[in-house]
Amino acid sequence: MRKPAASALAVPQLLNKLGRGAPVSMKAVGGGCIARASIATFADGLTVFVKTKQGSPGMFEREAEGLAALAEADAIRVPAVLAVGEGVLVLEAIQSAPKCAGFAELFGEQFASLHRHQGSFFGFYSDNFIGATEQLNSRVGNGDCWPDFFFERRLLYQVKLAARNGYGHELQQLLLSGQRQIMELLAASDELPSILHGDLWGGNYLADEQGRPCLIDPAVYFGHREADLAMTRLFGGFEAGFYRAYNEAWPLAPGHEERLHLYQLYHLLNHLNLFGMSYYGQCRQILQRYA
């Protein structure tokens, strides 16, 4: 007889710790391409959202830490973490509803409020994940130099990973050739470390039961808020009201448009490493601007 997968065994055991016994049903739902997602229902009618994934030790523990950090900012809703174990994460089930009136403006205002929650260094308390890729968050030096952190822990790490994944060394060579100009651009904005969602695109937020914004699937760290906003613009962008409300609440520093592509490059490199060669040309084109 085939041995059940470890995550399949762990789910009922972990759910038992919620004090309601074993769930009466587990229904698979759409939940992205990284983990499996299910809705567990208990005899008393409570439902919870369950994510499972094999072979990525610590992934859900790190996600739980990120959700807790975002919740601490008390600026925008995130699902409550109910339980976490190896390969299993149990979250509050958010019932999605149509967006409330002025959703985009509310979202932009709340996102600016989130970024006002600041840390003492660039990075995070532990390494975590962006998608299925490890995201390095240890501080560089004293942790007070954003260009060093973003270049070393974000761009250089990803181009080295791309080389290991079989995409050659051209991207790394281009990055190193353009290092001086890249560092100068990143240094042109001097801000304290803001807490970042880290991977905010259209699939990583939803409208909750009241139609208000709720963040999901973070890759949290403390960094420059321009990096968070750049990701929102990578795949079509958000509604204009989102950016207008954000800018009214907290305008970006001059020159942010010049830095936009650098911040998007991190995510494009990650997509190259996760999903393949179709992202290579975009990465190469951006890096050639600085080489």
- Phi, psi dihedral angles at 145 (to 5 degrees): -120, 105
d(CA 106, CA 85): 34
Place of tokens 């409208």: 207
HSE value, Cβ hemisphere, 13 Å, CA-based, for 254: 0
d(CA 3, CA 149): 44
- From the list 44, 127, 148, 199, the catalytic residue is 199
d(CA 187, CA 148): 9
* Region of residue 262 (phi > 0: left; psi between -120 and 50: alpha; otherwise: beta): alpha
Local structure of residue 127 (DSSP, 8 states): -
> Taking the alpha carbons of 94, 36, 222, 288 in that order, is the dihedral positive or negative?
negative
Burial environment of residue 212 by CB neighbours within 10 A (0 to 12, 13 to 18, 19 or more):
middle
Burial environment of residue 274 by CB neighbours within 10 A (0 to 12, 13 to 18, 19 or more):
middle
Q: Token pair of 47, please?
A: 């439902």
208 a catalytic residue: no
Local structure of residue 116 (DSSP, 8 states): T
Task: Give the residue numbers annotated as catalytic, written as ranges.
Answer: 199
